[in-house]
Structure 1
Amino acid sequence: MKFMKLLLIFIPISIVGEFLHFSPTIMFILAALAIVPLAGLMGEATEEISYYTGPKLGGFLNATFGNATELIISFFALKEGLFDVVKASIAGSVIGNILLVLGASMLAGGLKFKTQTFNKKIVEVSSSMLLFAVIGLSIPAIFTHTLKSELLNTQYEGLSVAVAVIMIIIYLFSLYFNFFTHKDLYVLNDEEQREANWSLKKSIFVLIVATVLIAIESEFLVSAVEPMTEALGLSTFFVGIILIPIIGNAAEHSTAVVMAIKNKMDVSIEIAIGSSLQIILFVAPVLIFLSLLFTPMSIIFNEFELISLVVSVLIANRVASDGESNWLEGVQLLAVYFIIGASFFII
């Protein structure tokens, strides 16, 4: 986290670059480097607030703000009409959390500890919910890709809104399950219980300032996407499925790896799978609702995004089924991620 805070220097540099009209490629890089520490500060402020609000409300705040950075970036992408980037970032976040974050965590932890264990019951509940969520998210696309066009109503927005409403309802049920009826499942044994380092006023102030700055940097980032991809010969799919999820979740990703190195695989896996659930059940529906303010966005993914999502979730279920992990499983997850990334790179 200390290293990430050094990147805060890129906030004023990016603002100066915007006024001096730096090239889109440079602006994209500067904005990305500025967003990474801001996302970390937002997460840290939310965690500090949770010490004052209690575990239930604190857990809700962590769940809600866990992917706030990516939600803000995607909002500005929606505003610009970059629907392919938004949908690719949704798929990329899930794929990245399951394959990249979980893979890196298992590799890093496995290099230090021969075998690491985790709470099998928690992972089974989360991974099963994740499988359901991905299937629910995929059904509209499967219909459009498999049925003849004359059998379909071409207005997908109504279907997308209906799916979004159902996802939000399931998200609320999952929160009630986690924090009320089955909260005993989610009590992790952590000897490092501590009090808040920041005052409540400071925590709220940092959260507000970080959110505002992320919004400013996200606008810089999104406005540079199209000219940057044209200049470098990249596809918007690659930017959406690989770059934006990494930028938005870098702080959370590093936390998962650090927890694995500390032999706390329960925390690492919950970060990876829990964040994926938030993306599908909360972020994706909210983006559908927000798109109604501009141009309605459908929730229809392309075939390769669908296959990548389903395969990633099936792998997660398989790897987590025995309650143990090692470095080789981490390498395998990373290998699949790099293959997917390479495939989108050549588009």
Structure 2
Amino acid sequence: MQPLLKEIRNTPLLWMLVFVPTVLAAEAVLSNSHTLLFVLSVLAIIPLAALLSHATEAVAARTGDAVGGLLNATLGNLTELIIAIAALRAGQYTLVKASIAGAIVTNAMFMLGACLLLGGLRYHVQEYNRAGARLSSGLLLMATVALLAPSAVADLQHLPQDGSVIHKLSVGISVLLIGVYALGLLFSLKTHKELFAGAEHDKGEEAPWPIGLAVGTLLVITVLVALVSEIFVESVQKAGETFGMSPAFVGFIIVSLVGAAAEFAVAFSAARKDRLDMSVSIALGSASQIALFVAPALVLLSYVVGPTPMNLQFWPGAVTMIMIATVTASFITGSGRSAWFVGALLIFIYAIFALTLYVVPPAGQG
């Protein structure tokens, strides 16, 4: 515990951890003060993300950047999965689907673009492992095609109007996607793991935490981020109504950005240290995990915890944005090299998506 306590004492940003018990207590006592809970939850997520960043880097130093990026993406997506399950219980399917689509686009466009921009401002040209990027972008492209299928056939005239065919198709696709995700893990971590080894880095860096402390900290912080993020979602929905934001915008932009705060902290820090293997692994790995595992898992869980089953039919605008983001990320990461301007372009594309969704909400939500 000594390295952890020393890190907290020496990092003023981590002093904000005091907001974690504060927001949990405020939620129990002042559950109707949504503006206060919104502010406190944001202040609590920031230091949790910073601490998660340090612990993940300690694990990556011992396991390699590819595995470290995979671990961080998995833990970060666990937070979003818990948030989505809470929304499933309440039957907020628009919010759930918006958060799924938004998380894919946010990771593939905003997180990847910001990493390339931040790293490129410090280093003239950066290189990263093309094999890992191609695997993640290929998995993401395949998953995107699968997610398009229910939306593509939903308007066919001869289908029953009760939606039974769409639900059956969604369940079948969900099972297939989880199977592909398992095969991707087997390929990258077992049979062809040598293709995904990260570059060597300076050995003169400060010694990482013991692996037991790092993993324990990752698990505890992930749980705390999940709890605080759940409070954030509950409060931000009310804030969205106050400020005229549709549930689709709240889920697609706000929930996705805050839910991925921990992953942002790790990926941005790695990019600034010229460890772009890890940054790309987190950004594309997280996006592909959401499409291959989180989305199908939520469909299957909706039969257990939801008031009615959920399908994979997204509104047309979400489908278009997911496809554009996936194809763009696949094209950008194919070279294995980057500069700051490439990252800036990705961020501008994400900004266009956000502006469009805010000004023109999906039908029925305006």
Shared fold by TM > 0.5?
yes
| Aligned: 1:234 with 2:245 | yes
- Between the aligned partners of 2:51 and 2:170, the Cα distance in structure 1 is 33
- Between the aligned partners of 2:67 and 2:214, the Cα distance in structure 1 is 15
| Aligned: 1:223 with 2:241 | no
Amino acid at match of 1:329: V
Partner of 1:293: helix, strand, or coil?
helix
- Equivalent in the alignment of 2:123: 113
Which residues of 2 match residues 117-136 of structure 1 at below 5 A?
A: 117-136=127-146
Deviation at 1:109, TM superposition (A): 1.8
Which residues of 2 match residues 141-220 of structure 1 at below 5 A?
A: 141-144=151-154, 146-148=155-157, 150=159, 154-155=163-164, 156-192=166-202, 197-198=209-210, 200=212, 202-203=213-214, 205-207=216-218, 209-220=220-231
Q: Is this contact kept in 2: 1:72–1:218, CA < 8 A?
A: no
| Aligned: 1:316 with 2:316 | no
Question: What percent of counterpart residues are identical?
Answer: 36
TM-score (norm 1): 0.88
- Equivalent in the alignment of 1:92: 102
Inter-CA distance 303–3: structure 2 relative to 1 (3 Å threshold):
farther
Which residues of 2 match residues 285-304 of structure 1 at below 5 A?
A: 285-295=296-306, 296-304=309-317
Amino acid at match of 1:231: T
- Equivalent in the alignment of 2:20: 11
Given candidates 92, 98, 102, the residue that maps to 1:82 is: 92
- Equivalent in the alignment of 1:252: 263
Inter-CA distance 45–285: structure 2 relative to 1 (3 Å threshold):
farther
Inter-CA distance 269–199: structure 2 relative to 1 (3 Å threshold):
closer
Per-residue CA distance 1:299-335 (angstroms, 9 max, x = gap): 1111111000000111112212222211211111111
- Between the aligned partners of 1:227 and 1:63, the Cα distance in structure 2 is 29
Unaligned runs of 5+ in 1: none
Inter-CA distance 160–42: structure 2 relative to 1 (3 Å threshold):
farther
RMSD between aligned residues: 2.9
Count of matched residue pairs: 345
Inter-CA distance 152–185: structure 2 relative to 1 (3 Å threshold):
farther
Amino acid at match of 2:305: F
Unaligned runs of 5+ in 2: 1-6, 362-366
- Equivalent in the alignment of 2:364: none
Inter-CA distance 182–230: structure 2 relative to 1 (3 Å threshold):
same
- Between the aligned partners of 2:332 and 2:67, the Cα distance in structure 1 is 31
Given candidates 315, 320, 338, the residue that maps to 1:325 is: 338
Q: Is this contact kept in 1: 2:64–2:197, CA < 8 A?
A: no
Given candidates 30, 35, 44, the residue that maps to 1:34 is: 44
- Between the aligned partners of 2:336 and 2:63, the Cα distance in structure 1 is 32
Amino acid at match of 1:11: V
- Equivalent in the alignment of 2:113: 103
Inter-CA distance 330–59: structure 2 relative to 1 (3 Å threshold):
closer
Per-residue CA distance 1:241-281 (angstroms, 9 max, x = gap): 11112112112113222222222222221111111111111
- Between the aligned partners of 1:264 and 1:29, the Cα distance in structure 2 is 32
Partner of 2:334: helix, strand, or coil?
helix
Deviates more, 1:28-37 or 1:235-244: 28-37
Inter-CA distance 191–222: structure 2 relative to 1 (3 Å threshold):
closer
Per-residue CA distance 1:76-98 (angstroms, 9 max, x = gap): 11122211111111111111111
Amino acid at match of 2:100: I
Deviates more, 1:32-41 or 1:169-178: 32-41
Deviates more, 1:185-194 or 1:311-320: 185-194
